[in-house]
Amino acid sequence: MEELSPREQPDFFPAPDDETGITSRLALVVRGFPRPTPSIIPLTRNGGLQADAIDTFLRRRQRVTDQPPAYFITTESLSGDELVGIWNRIALTPAEGMVLRALQFLDGDIERIAAQANSGPAYVTQTRGGFIIKRKGWEQPVPIGSMGDGMWRMLAMAIAISQCKGGVLLVDEIDTGLHYTVMSKMWSLIYNTARELDVQVFATTHSYDCVYSLAQICASAEADSAVTVQRVEPGRDWAVPYDQEEITMAATRDIEVR
């Protein structure tokens, strides 16, 4: 916990008549790398945290610094509630078509995707609900959550990266739920969208098939030097880097880079 200087206060604290009513100079400072969001959280005079302080702070800070967006996708992916919230911002935009194409990598018969309102109690959190898809030859749409882990994984990555323009996407175990036969298409989606939207993607994996599929992207004519693999070894203070050429060579010669 720190006290901000008078010069820093206007950036991090609303005026006394603002919606939060926070007038103290106390702040909770969170440090780390990558830099956490938010990194400075305003506190009350008594050192407490108001219920909406983080959300209000993020809205103000976004206006002040134009902080780039960042999303973190865990091995459980994003929840249905989170994805529906993001979907509301991309519906009827070009990003919606990109998400549909991503799902068609897994099932070419998918024709449409739509968000569905939650009809259950307000306190129930949707884990893998909120979306339905229409398949060719099927009269009725079906919940996307019934289509398997890979479909939900691809949905989460496609929706998240569409909102990371100029920012960062972090994905833990990026191959979770995906069959090895579609990993090249997954990497193609990630690579091309990241290049188009200027997104830095950091992904972890323990899968050889995932690295081999990445090598296919590295070997393509369209790829550039922005692709690297960092091998993390126990007991070492730094990672072992592999550039694009080395990734391709490792895949063709079955050299371990995970």
User: Which pLDDT does position 101 carry in this prediction?
Assistant: 93
* The predicted structure's pLDDT at residue 19: 45
42/187: higher pLDDT: 187
- CA pair distance 182, 171, nearest whole angstrom: 17
Stretch 185-211: mean pLDDT: 90
Q: What is the percent of the chain with per-residue pLDDT over 70, rounded to a whole number?
A: 68
d(CA 116, CA 153): 18
Virtual CA dihedral for 239, 243, 246, 252, nearest 10 degrees?
100
What pLDDT is stored for residue 216 in this prediction? 84
Q: Are 52 and 21 in contact (CB under 8 A)?
A: no
Residue 54: is its pLDDT beyond 80?
Answer: no
Q: What is the secondary structure of the chain as a DSSP string?
A: -EE--TTTHHHHS--TTSSS-----EEEE---SSPPSSSEEE--TTS---TTHHHHHHHHHHHHH-PPPEEEE-TT---HHHHHHHHHHHTTSHHHHHHHHHHHHH-TTEEEEEE----S-TTPPPSS-SEEEEETT-SS-EEGGGG-HHHHHHHHHHHHHHT-TTSEEEESSTTTT--GGGHHHHHHHHHHHHHHHT-EEEE----HHHHHHHHHHHHSTT--TT--EEE--TT-SS-EEE-HHHHHHHHHTT----
The rounded distance, in Å, linking the Cα atoms of 196 and 172 is: 22
Determine the pLDDT at residue 116. Answer: 80
Whose tokens are 């979907």? That residue is 87
- How far apart, in whole angstroms, are the C-alpha atoms of residue 155 and residue 177? 12
Burial of 88 (0-12, 13-18, 19+ CB in 10 A): exposed
Tell me how far apart the alpha carbons of residues 112 and 5 are, in angstroms, rounded to a whole number.
Answer: 53
Mean pLDDT of 6-24: 51
Q: Give tens-digit pLDDT for 224-245.
A: 667 888 888 888 778 888 888 8
pLDDT of 92: 87
Which of the two residues, 248 and 31, has the higher pLDDT score? 248
Mean pLDDT of 184-205: 91
Residue-range domain boundaries for the chain: 2-67, 71-166+179-193, 205-258
What are 141-171's pLDDT values in tens digits?
A: 999 988 888 999 999 999 999 999 989 999 9
Percentage of the residues of the chain whose pLDDT score is greater than 90 = 26
CB 72 within 8 A of CB 170: yes
